[in-house]
Amino acid sequence: MNSVLTTSQQKTICSQLGSVKLHLLYKASIHGFTGAAFHQRCDTRCPTVSVGYNVSGYVFGGYTIQPFNKSGNYVHDDQAFLFTLIGEKLLKYPVTVPAKAVRMVRNSGPCFGDSLSLVYGDKALVSSIQGSSYNINAVEMHDNDLNLTECEVYQVEAIPEFEKPWRPVVWENKKRTEMMESIKVYTSTASSVTHARVLLIGPVGAGKSSFFNSINSVFRGHVSNQASAGCSTTSLTTQFRTYSVKAGQAGKSLPITLCDTMGLEENMGAGLDMDDIISILKGHLLDSYQFNPSAPLLSEASGYRKSPGLKDKIHCVVYVIDACKVSIMPTKLEQKLEAIRRKVNLMGIPQLVLMTKVDEACPLVSQDIRNIYRSGYIKKMMQEVSIRVGVPMSCVVPVKNYSEEFELDPNCDILLLTAIIQMLRSADSYFDELSDRLNNIEIK
């Protein structure tokens, strides 16, 4: 039984519900546009998502944690909501009268108070009353088109969590200290390079600047905010910035430089330009270069480094992706990432994915960051981002940046330090590959 609800639409709905997936129970075009068919397939099953499709092409419905029945009564549900899908976005209408959130009607499909009934009166119809149990906008929700082409009901199923972590981590202060020391004493395998240069690339708001601030915080011993970071629809980073991290207030600079860029945007002529990315990779852009999305830096400009050495080039590229948005990544943005990945591949530069905001994506991880590798949902998101960006799962590193905390959390630090160590290892792979190529040329 194939669902009309697309994979992308299912993911958008699931993003509202946590670590879950949808299982199709009832499809009116197959089982019948009748209350009897709906109740036979759906009664006692919960939670559920009910979806209607009308002649005008609108996709809308509701969610409830309560099981349906034929009692004729109203049922309380303070978690219920109605919704409409517009493209890849979900408009949500929370319940306003929880005591009348769901209504059990014998000769109808799913009924959400008096605000929305699908398969109403044993017919392919919708009943909808504005401003009842839910404060809906009927025109916005379904354009007042009450003729159904399809109705589907899905059971919401939890994605199981793992008893044992599928990626082992030692959550101890001793381990944290060892990782910090190994980063401090890191020496590049390329004698001409003292600092591995890592380029952070990602959509607006994914957490590139926040990652630098978080790493800086770990080595400073307190939460700091050197790089501009926050919530915005456009990139807060407008310059090419290279950040070095110091071990302590006046300590020695660590052997890694994090390079921050403008955020990627899905629209053409907005956000980071492809030509500027190539210039960064090759080491042509100087620190503090002011990005201009409509005009990339030309080789004649004053801010252009004409003869970069190996120490000026990028040694590892890291794609920074918000875990909450993996499943609803816009197609145009995914295409931009694919174009960048192809260019980086041609240049032989190693690539990683930094998956941020894992605590916001999964309630289990929000409770305790140490559940990161016990979460089936996080593993599913890591597998998906691995496919979307085109890197192996072993190159996907989940982290939680510091954003609202005043004090450090040693467990968060361990994930952040793990990410830095993976970046340094990737840079070494780049230097080793470069050395092998040079040796082969000399032999020939």
3-state per-residue secondary structure call for 170-205: CCCHHHHHHHHHHHHCCCCCCCCCCCEEEEEECECC
Biggest alpha carbon–alpha carbon distance for the chain: 85
C-alpha 360, offset from chain centre: 10
Map tokens 């194939």 to a residue.
2
What is the number of residues in the chain?
A: 444
Q: Which two tokens stand for residue 387?
A: 């496919």
**CATH superfamily ID and name for 173-443:** P-loop containing nucleotide triphosphate hydrolases (3.40.50.300)
Q: Which helix (H) or strand (E) holds 412?
A: helix 410-443
d(CA 401, CA 259): 17
387 and 381 in contact (C-beta within 8 Å)? no
133 and 115 in contact (C-beta within 8 Å)? yes
The domain ranges of the chain are: 7-158, 173-443
Would you state the pLDDT for residue 386? 95
Backbone angles phi, psi at 326, to 5 degrees: -55, -45
Q: Which two tokens stand for residue 290?
A: 């002011």
d(CA 378, CA 374): 8
Would you state the pLDDT for residue 262? 79
The vertex-268 CA angle with 266 and 269, nearest 5°, equals 120
C-alpha distances in angstroms, 232 versus 104, 124, 235, 243, 287? 43, 43, 7, 22, 23
171 and 414 in contact (C-beta within 8 Å)? yes
Give which of 19, 42, 402, 443 is closest to 224, Cα–Cα: 402
DSSP bridge partners of 242: 259
C-alpha distances in angstroms, 149 versus 31, 152, 367? 14, 10, 42
Ranges of the chain with pLDDT below 50: 230-235
130 and 138 in contact (C-beta within 8 Å)? yes
Would you state the pLDDT for residue 268? 60
Would you state the pLDDT for residue 232? 47
d(CA 154, CA 162): 24
Specify whether the backbone of 169 is left (phi greater than 0), alpha (psi in -120 to 50) or beta. Answer: beta
Would you state the pLDDT for residue 28? 96
Give which of 22, 20, 30, 19 is closest to 5, Cα–Cα: 22
Backbone angles phi, psi at 55, to 5 degrees: -60, -30
